[in-house]
Amino acid sequence: MSGIGIFDRMRESLTKTRQTFSDRLAATLRRRKISEDVYEELEEALLCADVGVDTTVKLLAEVQKEARRQKLETADQLLPVLERAVQGELGEDHPGLAFAPGLTVVLVVGVNGAGKTTTIGKLAHRFQSEGKRVLVAAGDTFRAAAIEQLAVWCDRAGVDLIRQTQGSDPAAVLFDAVRAAKARGMDVLLCDTAGRLQNKAHLMEELQKLHRVLGREADGAPHEVLLVLDATTGQNALSQARLFGDAAGVTGLVLTKLDSTAKGGFVISIRSDLGIPVKWIAVGEGIDDLHPFSSESFAQALFSDVRT
C-alpha cells in the first residue's frame, strides 16, 4: 500500500480519537503566548486521548525542552514539536513479519474477544496473496466455537486448517501442525492459542509448553509472537500487553477496532512503555481489512484536524 493509502487508512481509523483530541488541542493552540496553562491543557488533551500518565509526562518534557531550545513564543508553534515527539515515542516502523528460512512459525495470542480469529484469517489471506504457502493450526481447543470460526476464516482465505476436537491438548495440535507444514513445504504456519486468562501462572505454563513444542519441531520457532489487542479497551490493553509480553515473548502487536474508540492514544503508551512495535491494524470485518502500521502516518493522522 502506498504512503498516501496508509495515511488515509490511519486517519479513518483514528476518527473518534481525533474528534476528542483535536477539539481540545485546537482550543489550546489558539492561545497566543506559551504559558503553564498551555502545557496543562496539552496534558489534559493527551490524557483524554488515553495516552497514559507516564507517556504524557515524557512527551510534555520533550515539548518543553524543544520549546526552550528553539525559543518558541506562541502556542501554535508547539504543534509540530508535539507531533515529532509523538512520532519519536512510536519509534521506527517494523516489517510486518520477519520470515525465517524455510518455515516461519507465528504464534498468535490475546484474550477472547480481541479479534484473534479474524486476525489470523486476514493474515492468512494476506500472506497467501503475497505468494506464500500458508497453513493454520487451531490451537484454541478450549472453545469449540473458536475452532469452527477459524475454519470459516480459513475457507475464506483458501488455506488448510489443522484441527482436533474440543478439549484436545493444544501442544499436540501444534505438534501435528508443524509436522504437516514441513511435510507440505509450507512457508508460514499461523498458530491460534486459547484466549482465556484464568491466572498468570496458568497462562505462563501453557504458553511455555507451546514454545517448547514448537522449538523442538522447527529451529527458532516460534519466529514471531503476535499479540492481538482490542483498541477499545484503551489502557487496559497495556496491562494485557505486559502480561502476554512476560508469558509469551511478544514480538509485535496487531490492533483491532481502532476505529471504534476515542482512546487511540494508548498506542503511544504501549510503544513507549513496553517497546513492542505495532505491526498491523485491523479495521472492519472484510478479509482485506488488515493494514501495516506506520508511525509517521499515525502521528500525522492524529494531528491532521488541528493543522487544517
The answer to whether 49 and 262 are in contact (CB under 8 A) is yes
The domain in which residue 43 lies consists of 3-92
Q: Residue 3 has what pLDDT?
A: 44
Same domain membership, residue 114 and residue 86:
no
Specify whether 188 is located in the same domain as 70: no
Amino acid at 67: A
Residue with cell 520477519: 98
Same domain as 120, residue 85: no
- Number of structural domains (the chain) is 2
- The tens place of each residue's pLDDT in the chain, 308 residues long, gives 444 477 787 888 888 888 888 878 888 887 789 999 999 999 999 998 899 999 999 999 999 999 999 999 999 999 999 999 999 999 888 777 878 789 999 999 998 889 999 999 999 999 999 999 999 999 999 888 899 999 999 999 999 999 999 999 999 999 999 999 999 999 999 999 988 665 667 777 888 899 999 999 999 999 999 999 998 888 888 888 888 888 888 999 999 988 888 788 888 998 888 888 999 988 778 898 888 888 888 888 888 877 65
Q: Are 251 and 67 in contact (CB under 8 A)?
A: no
Residue 90: CB atoms within 10 A of its CB come to: 22
The enclosing domain of 280 has a CATH number of 3.40.50.300
Is residue 211 domain-shared with residue 174, that is, in the same domain?
yes
Residue 33 burial (10 A CB sphere; 0-12, 13-18, 19+): exposed
Q: Are residue 15 and residue 133 in the same domain, yes or no?
A: no
Give how far Cα 200 sits from Cα of 169, 206, 230, Å: 19, 10, 19
Asked if 286 and 183 sit in the same domain, the reply is yes
Are 131 and 242 within one domain?
A: yes
83 and 111 in a single domain? The answer is: no
Whether residues 123 and 199 fall in one domain: yes
